[in-house]
Structures are given as structure tokens and as C-alpha cells.
Amino acid sequence: MRIVIGGSGDVGYHLADALVDAGHSLTLIDFNDHILQHAASNIDAITLVGDVSSVDTLKRADIHRADIFIAATTSESTNLLACILAKKLGAAKTIARISNIEYFDNNQRNNFREVGIDNLFSPTLLAAEEIQRLINRCAATDIFEFEKGRLSIVGYTVESNSPYIGKEFRSLCLSKGYETNTIALLRNGKTTIPTLEQLIEGNDHVYLVSNAKDLSTLDKDLGEEFKIIKNLMIIGDTEIALQTALILEQNYAVTVILNDNVKAKRFIEKLNKSLIIEGDVSNLDLLQEEGLERMDAFIALTSNTETNIIASLTAESMGVFRSIALVDNTAYTHLSQKIGVDTLINKKLIAANNIFRFVRKGQIEAIASLHGVDAEIIEFNVHTNNFITQNPISEIGLPKDALIAGVVRRDKGIIPDSNFQLEIDDKVIVLTLPKATKRVEDLFK
């Protein structure tokens, strides 16, 4: 595909890097020549200095030939205008990064489509929603829901006292009588798809797929313990901290600690139930004074990665059940199981996953990257009657470094065996290691 990205800041740069790796032809626009020079030295993309919302700049980028135009600057108004102009000039599809959450209302979305903006994305809102999923499933370190939760992929760390250590992976699937399957294993920094005969070791990080009715059983059997989250603390004055508090205060007792006096007033205006405390978030004594030890979960969402990690480690050392830290460097996400923080999240990765479904081959419904794991989960829609619907899944040519984790058929989540046969309109959830991604996309295109 020919893709043009407007804005080479954190989100735009990461998107560009990932899309080039996926084999797409890319043009990157930014008004900052220094930033573009950095991008050009690291990414195989055409770079263009200019205003992304300028007709002249878009024409110089051959926008009429673009399959997708992504406006990813930090200015919402610039992104919206750029998408409108790009569509008028011939771009096939436009995607705008926004910050105003109200724009996701269905009526607003329809209004934007009428003027040429096909899709919207907010890295902040996407990250806040991921945090909500993690808190809701307290025993899991990661959770990804498909088709409104009819199938979920969950990640667990095998604790040193787990009764599963030394047993075969088949025991995770069969011993309790629930429908589930182990789909990925992270061990000593290496990602594999485990065999049923392989033995489970302490500190393994395993990913399983399950239908909705068995999730609570999985939590009890595989989680460090089963704990209901009631009280949680958020630190940070960022927009993601505000949006996360807005979502979580509906069901949890939320305490927010932030440094900035002006932003504290905005948090007070926006939040209805949360306790807002102004103070130095890096002061660990303050966190303790405000009840850190009594918290069930701690979420560090400041703009400083190191502050987030150190504060989260402190929370863990004080017995807080669940810790989540926002990190800026995508390389950190591979360290979450090693450094002691339950989950590290990165807005750039989350945003890229959301956008990838528009540029991948096949009718893709959703895409996700497992935290710290070199694998992707892609949800395909079976839309043509061909050999993948005419043969059992063991005979459709799926690469050995990929597997069909689950299928949603007529609103029912199914864990398929090798004799299962796909049908038109099935939603197929596939886990694939990087080397197998292209072959998987070709199967479902």
C-alpha cells in the first residue's frame, strides 16, 4: 500500500517504522526538518518538509495516489483539516488522530465521514480502555477481548509456588474441564507456541484463549490469587491519567495524585467521584501517607517513564496487588515480566495496533500485540468461500509459527480443534509470530 503519514512525532514515527517493516511504501510529512532527518536515517521512507494541512504539501506528497492518509500530529484541528483536504485531493482512506473524546459519538463520526474523515483514533483513549480491561481482570497481566468478550486472550505469570510447575501444558487446557487453549509462551525472553507435551516452568509467562464463561475460573486457577479490586491509586497529570480516572471511577474508589495546580483544577472539574490530591508524585513518602498500602491497584501515568516504573515497583514492594506503568520507550514493554511491574503499556504500540487493521491484507476486525511478546493477534473475517472453508483447519496450510486461537460463530466463542472447519462470516482469531504474518494474511485475504 501507498501510505502518507502527517506528523513524525512519537506516534507518527512509530507508525511509520512499523508500517515500513510490514512492507508498505511510505511518505512522512513534518514541518520540522530536524525530526525528519532523524526519521530518514532510521526508516526507509520518503520524507517531505511542509505543513501537513497545506494543499501544496499534500500535492507534493502525491496524495492522490495514497491508499491511506494518516494525520498523526499533536494538533487535533490540523489533523482534521488535513484529512478533509487529503480526501478531496484523492486519498482513498483517511484517518485522523484526535484528543476530543466526544468526537467518538456515533453521530459525530457520521458527520466526520460526510466531510471525508473515514476513521478517528485517540492513543490516549485506547490506552485508558486497555487499562480498564486489565483492572477488570485482576489476576491476568494482560487481556484482549474479541467480539465483545465472547473470546478473550489472557496472560498469566506462573508463580514460583504454582501447582502447575512441572506439569505438561496440556494440563492448563484439560484438567479443570473448561474450554481454553495455551497459545503462546514467553520464557527467558523468547516467544514460542508451546506443545501440549512441553513442561511448565516457574516464571513462565503464558497466554491462553478462553470463552467468556470460563474466565473467572482461569483467574482462580492461574492467578497469583483471586482478588477483587476496590481501591486504586493513579499518579500523573497527563491526559491519559484523566481519561483513565473518568472510566475507572464509575466502578472503583479512585485516588489521583498530581503535581500541577492548574491541571488539578481541571481534574476536579471533570471527575465526579475520584479523590484528587495535589502533591509531588515522585515523593514516595507522600504516596504512603495517602494510603498506598491500602490500595488494590496502582497505575502510574506520569509523563516520565522512570518515575512510573520506580513508583510501581514501590507499590509492588508494599503489597499492592496490581501495578500498571506507562512507558514511553517501546523497548521497555519487553521487560515487564523481568523487572517486577505487572504490566507496562505504551500508547504508541496501542495506537499502531489500532491502525494496522486498516492496512493489513484480508478483512481484519482487530489486531493486538501481546505485551513483551514477539507475536501478534489478528482477527479476520471469513468473507469468501474458498479452500479455507472447504477443508479442516489442519489442512489449510497455516504456518507452524501461527495457530487459530479461537473462532466466533453466530455470537458464540469456540476453541477449535484440528478437525474444525471454518464457515463464511466466522470471526477467526489467529496468533502469529513475525515470520508467519505474511503467509497468514495471504490465507485470509
* pLDDT confidence of residue 177: 47
For the residues of 169-180, what is the DSSP string, one character each?
THHHHHTT---E
Nearest residue to 258 (alpha-carbon basis) of 250, 248, 247, 271: 271
Examine residue 332 and state whether it is found in any structural domain, yes or no: yes
Nearest to 382 by CA among 360, 401, 408, 400: 408
At CA 180, angle to CA 175 and CA 186, rounded to 5? Answer: 95
Task: Show which of 222, 242, 257 is a domain's final residue.
Answer: 222
Can you give the pLDDT of all 445 residues of the chain as single tens digits? 899 999 988 888 888 887 887 778 999 999 999 989 988 888 899 999 999 999 999 999 999 999 999 999 989 999 999 999 999 999 999 999 998 888 888 888 889 999 999 999 999 998 998 898 778 765 566 777 787 778 888 887 777 777 888 888 887 764 444 567 888 888 877 888 888 889 988 878 888 888 756 555 555 555 555 567 899 999 999 999 999 999 999 999 999 999 988 999 999 999 999 999 999 998 989 999 999 999 999 999 999 999 999 999 999 999 998 899 999 876 666 555 556 677 888 888 788 777 876 776 556 566 666 666 677 888 888 888 888 999 999 999 999 889 998 899 988 888 888 889 999 999 999 988 878 888 888 888 8
My answer on whether 416 and 306 are in the same domain is: no
Of 200, 143, 186, the closest CA to residue 322 belongs to 143
pLDDT at 244: 96
Q: Answer yes or no: do 92 and 160 share one domain.
A: no
Contact 3, 27 (CB under 8 A): yes
With respect to residue 134, please indicate whether it lies within any of the assigned structural domains.
Answer: no
> What gap in Å lies between CA 386 and CA 259, rounded to an integer?
59
Whether residues 412 and 337 share a domain: the answer is: no
Residue 128 lies in a domain: no
Residues 238 and 335 in one domain: yes
Residue 315 backbone dihedrals phi, psi, to 5 degrees:
-60, -45
Is residue 132 one of the residues assigned to a domain?
no
- Give yes or no: residues 341 and 408 share one domain: no
- On whether both 145 and 192 belong to a single domain, the answer is yes
User: How far is C-alpha 65 from the chain's CA centre?
Assistant: 30
Indicate if 144 and 107 belong to the same structural domain. no
What is the DSSP secondary structure assignment for residue 219, as one 8-state letter?
Answer: H
Give the end of a domain, one of 350, 378, 404: 350
Q: How many domains does the chain have?
A: 4
Query: Could you tell me if 109 and 211 lie in one domain?
Result: no
Distances (CA, A) of 424 to 125, 362, 440: 33, 14, 17
Is there a domain that residue 244 lies in? yes
pLDDT at 367: 67
Domain boundary among 157, 191, 222: 222
Give the structural domain span for 52: 2-121
The CATH number of the domain holding residue 70 is 3.40.50.720
Residue 287 has a pLDDT of 92
Distance between CA atoms of 238 and 242, rounded to whole angstroms? 7
- Residues 321 and 249 placed together within one structural domain of the fold: yes
CB burial of residue 440 (10 Å; 0-12, 13-18, 19+): buried
Would residue 129 count as lying in a domain? Answer: no
The CATH code of the domain that includes 166 is 3.30.70.1450
* Same-domain status, 38 and 86: yes
Does residue 371 share a domain with residue 356?
Answer: yes
29 in Cβ contact with 57 (< 8 Å): yes
Amino acid letter, residue 131: I
Q: Is residue 131 assigned to a domain?
A: no
Asked if residue 133 is part of any domain, the answer here is no
In the chain, what is the straight-line distance between the N-terminal and C-terminal CA atoms, in Å?
14
Same domain, 182 and 110: no
Provide the whole-model pTM.
0.70
